[in-house]
Chain A
């Protein structure tokens, strides 16, 4: 079971601000989801490799050749704030 504390913890890690009502709803919903997924643990997985990828593909490489860059105006187009050619962000610590 998921506790209210777990929900607060993952909300903080995901930078989500939840009110008390939301916390309660998500505690129940997340518990239900995990409970559902837990059924997988009833399967016998002896001798089965953990899945690294859902598709049966491996070794997709590109060669070390340079391509086009975006013009700096486009790079910064979505920046909420910019200065010169930099992204401007709030104080970090």
Chain B
């Protein structure tokens, strides 16, 4: 079997975090009663006039700059015509030939290899309403429409077909999400739909220049789903070609429950959108001063922050990459470092215990009840000998679940480390007497027997004995 390579490009829609919609002053707030955030502009009633929200243009420019794009000095809105009940006007206001930003890129790192992914364009458009089907779209007898989301501002970010594997596509989307979150123009929540991703994907025999026929994948609502859908589709296309078949250019939907991509019955002649300039909206002329002003307001982005963590805090590349992957996580980390000046130790706790517990609970950093000061306090308790490192893990788990201060947990659960020499000696003698075989083993050169004896002491003291003292006392006793 010959080798194939995949060619993937992503189209990502991001909802902008403005107070009001893109062309009218209706609220964008999530979760309102159906059809309650609606005005005549949202409905496209006769005689209404859409007027663009300045914040939307500002945010789109900000996102474009953060993605290394060139910002257009002249830009306009166009009508994209199609019949579908998710938009009451039968067209969507979008941008066609003069998008707000073009020719950008972002850098990804997969398996230690840096790669630059091109960004074709960033354009502004209005979101569509939400259709509620009874069961599936194919079997529903009718659908219900909620137009609250109609007119919520979106930017669409189109990548070049530069990705060659599902892993690269995931890395691109993760980096894109991080960058957009850092700029503050969107919260990029895939579950709430404020970040949505479609993929264009084809395969070709390795070495071939010409692109294969592509399919478009939709309906991937999480990173996991995107990964699985791409992996499935790559396999499917290779199989079709290996069997001597041809790929049909079509839109396919990811069926999460069955783990397959399926042909979506395409909207007939769907790609004849007959774009034309929207006469209701006047062109945008973007001044260099405005772009500069927005550029100044862009905070430190993930790549720069990662570099700084490596340079100033001496973190390994990998730690810095993980910690800067979300702004809130990096903020949390830096807060800790300010209070407790041992960057690598903090990194180990966050990347080990904390991220593990977050992943297990499906939590994001903002859901975490532990405060940076509390983690710093816990580490100080280890340093000053109040608790052992081992006990600290349990205390952290308790902090994570309850949000309580480590000192209170240590006091209430009686976890204070035993450093009283007399007390430890008593237990050590007890263990030595009870385990003559291990003692003999140790004396006969089986040094690992010491570990067992230490473990017995820890067990009897419920993990509270100072491990350093136990170790020293035991070896002193046995060596003499």
* A residues apposed to B, CB below 8 Å: 9, 12-13, 15, 52-55, 57-70, 72, 75-76, 83-93
Contacts and interface: CB of A to CB of B under 8 A. Distances in A.
Given A69-B26, A90-B142, A12 B269 contact: yes
Interface stretch (B46-54, B163-171, B228-236, B432-440): B46-54
B288 to A, nearest CB: 14
Given A9-B269, A12-B269, A88-B142, A64 B282 contact: no
A62 B54 contact: yes
B35 A55 contact: no
Interface residues of B, number: 54
Interface in B43-87: 43, 51-57, 74, 76, 81, 83-85
B25 A54 contact: no
B31 interface: no
A92 B143 contact: yes
Contact of B282 (A60, A65, A70, A92): A60
A68 B24 CA distance: 10
Contact of B19 (A66, A76, A92): A66
B33 interface: yes
B151 to A, nearest CB: 12
A92 B340 CA distance: 59
Contacts of B33: 72, 85
Contacts of A93: 137-138, 265
Contacts of A15: 83
B285 interface: yes
B314 interface: no
B309 interface: no
Interface in B121-167: 131-132, 137-138, 140-147
B146 A86 contact: yes
Interface stretch (B214-222, B271-279, B322-330, B397-405): B271-279
A75 B43 CA distance: 8
Interface of A is mostly: loop
A34 B286 CA distance: 35
A61 B59 CA distance: 14
Given A58-B283, A69-B39, A89-B131, 16 more contacts: A12-B269, A55-B282, A60-B51, A60-B52, A61-B54, A62-B51, A68-B39, A75-B35, A75-B43, A85-B146, A86-B132, A87-B35, A89-B142, A92-B84, A92-B131, A93-B265
Contact of B38 (A69, A91, A92): A69
A52 B285 CA distance: 12
Contacts of A67: 20, 24-26, 39
Interface in B255-283: 265, 268-269, 272, 274, 277, 279, 281-283
A69 B144 contact: no
B284 interface: yes
Contacts of A92: 84-85, 131, 137, 143
Contact of A64 (B20, B84, B141, B145): B20
B54 A86 contact: no
A83 B134 CA distance: 13
B98 interface: yes
B193 interface: no
Given A13-B274, A69-B39, A88-B144, A58 B285 contact: yes
B34 interface: yes
Nearest to B282: A57
B254 to A, nearest CB: 17
B471 interface: no
Contact of B35 (A9, A57, A86): A86
Given A64-B55, A92-B143, A75 B38 contact: yes
Contacts of B145: 86-89
B194 to A, nearest CB: 17
B285 A62 contact: no
A92 B136 CA distance: 11
Nearest to B49: A60
Contacts of A59: 282-285
Given A52-B98, A52-B277, A91-B143, A72 B53 contact: no
B18 interface: yes
Contacts of B83: 15
Nearest to A89: B85
Interface in B461-478: none
Top-8 shortest CB links A-B: A67-B25, A86-B144, A61-B54, A64-B55, A87-B145, A89-B85, A52-B283, A57-B282
Contacts of A76: 35
B27 interface: yes
A87 B53 contact: no
Contacts of A88: 142-145
B137 A65 contact: no
B27 A66 contact: yes
A64 B51 contact: no
A17 to B, nearest CB: 14
B53 to A, nearest CB: 5
B36 interface: yes
Contacts of B265: 93
Contacts of B279: 53-54
Contact of A70 (B38, B53, B76, B277): B38
Contacts of A9: 269, 272
